[in-house]
Structure 1
Amino acid sequence: MVNTSSAGNKGDTRWNKDAGGIRSQSLLYASLLAYGGNQFVVVATCLFQEEDMEVEGVEFNVLRAFHHDLCVDALAWSPESRLDRVPTVRLCTAAADRKLRLLTSDLQDRHEVKVMEGHTSYVNHLVFEPTEGKQIASVSDDHTCRVWDLDGRETAIFRLRSPGVSVCWHPEEVFKLMVAEKKGTIRFYDLVTQQAILSLDCGAIASADWCLSNPIKVGAVSGNDWLIWDITRSSYPQEKRPAHRDKAHLFRWSRANENLFATTGCPGKISSQLLIHHLGHPQPVTVGFATVGSCLSWHRTLPLCVVGCDRKLCFWATEM
């Protein structure tokens, strides 16, 4: 069922799982995994040997496939999603028609899709509020960050100075939101006052992420480099190192280790590079390649990430 191969680095294993036509987004959320492509979203479970010694490599089971009106461009899990209660899963997608779609399902015969309209250009990223999942934030090429409730109403709109590329919620203080803009500014907003409270500066940003296990850390990729800020010390990055010769595309912190993060090179080529970095090491601890890699997500508790490829999901595991 699973092909296992070495990716050439100590402590690094990659599993390739045929995903039957995956084109765009995949997202790990504990044992749940969702991926989307051209007019479909699939919810599955993934169990790894690190979680259960009786598993050989990875145990992958599709739970439900859903029709999606268009190709999935972005995908986010609600923190309410779990298999031991109803509704079982809730996730939100973005597509080229500039709409968000909120999918709620018991994975059997009851599911609902709520369409959210408001953005006037391409939606680049979206995220649920991480504690209760009662709100969704999205950023777009229309120079806005919008916050929505689960009924599809806009509860806040932040006007940006350039396209929004990433949005992140503070893991504990749910009134704080981080928004990264393409032209090189990362701003933190207070959702109560709806005012900016802090900003970070660098060159043009392709992607940024807030470290959930240590919220004083913010990371981003700009040009060929990755950058790390300590937001308690300076508005300028404390660390900056070259990463990808073909320009960097995505930055994601590990949920399992505050010093571990991954970056990808630009998609659309025959092969997209994945690098896993550790702040205690001068060089990447893992180097991998994925065919037309277009998304990146970490496992909730393991040092393991997934990239959506051409008809496959590629998983990399590394050491802490």
Structure 2
Amino acid sequence: MAAVTGVDSVVKVMDKRGHRDVHSLRQARIGWMFSTPALVFIGLVTIFPIGFSVALSLSNVNVTGNGFALQGFTFSNYSQLIHSSTWRYALVFTVFYTVVTVAVEVVLGTMIALVLERLTKARGMMMALLLLPWSIITVISAELWQYIYEGTYGVLQAIFQSIGLGAPVFLGSPTSAIISMMVADIWKTTPFVAVIVIAGLVMLPSDVYEAASCDGASNWTIFWKITLPLLRPTIAIAVLFRVLQAFGVFDLPFVLTGGGPGTATTSLAILSYKVMFQNIDYGPGAAVAVSATLLVILGCLLFLRVFKTQVGREEVQ
């Protein structure tokens, strides 16, 4: 009798598991049914253009009056990049621009977040004001800064002349144009980093700070020993987002400097645009775009690997 009861219980458990499996399968089918249109749309607007760009970069592209045709597989487009001084300069400039702007934005954004996190009143109003630069479309922001930097009727030009500092040319020389473009980018995107860091600060455990205060730790020690280590995952997210945006910078230099003077502010995205749509050379232009994509992916993967290794060492210690 006991054996029969045991068999019945096993059968009931199997029935329940089978019912759960059928229910889970049904839920999965419903989920796929609702998500399929979105996945198809993402594939059309993201995956397909990337795949087509790779195909263009590996093909001999023949441009005719009726369009263009892919004629055969080749690595010559990438060979042209390697031997092109313009591509090498665009690569160096893009990397330099990304490193400098992201580093400054992370430092300034963290400082602003620390100040706002301590505010007890008007924090919401201050965050709303902080987000105003980020909410402006980059093209509009670039037009605004172009008016500020303009050499004849610009705002900065009038200020410098009124205080007797002469008439500096902000966009006329390579060095000043690069610095001016970086300032415009930092002004716009530092609030983005600050908001992400504020979100991380709010999530930090308060009991750790209470324990540190009871032990007599100074504010500087608390920041370096507690706040900054706990904020590393949040800062890593901000860095990743900003690297992805900064490495593909296009609209700011396109409007502000046009890639000039000369090729001083020509990023990889600007170079790809000029080669494809001004020189009508689709193969090398697509190769520039693909090379930029591969480099930023490799850079992000390397950053994540280093960050994961550092976090693992801290956990072991």
Q: For the superposition of Structure 1 and Structure 2, which TM-score range results when normalised by the shorter chain?
A: under 0.3
TM-score, structure 1 length as denominator? 0.19
TM-score normalised over the length of structure 2:
0.19
Please identify the structure whose Cα radius of gyration is greater.
2
Greater relative contact order structure (CA < 8 Å, 6+ sep): 2
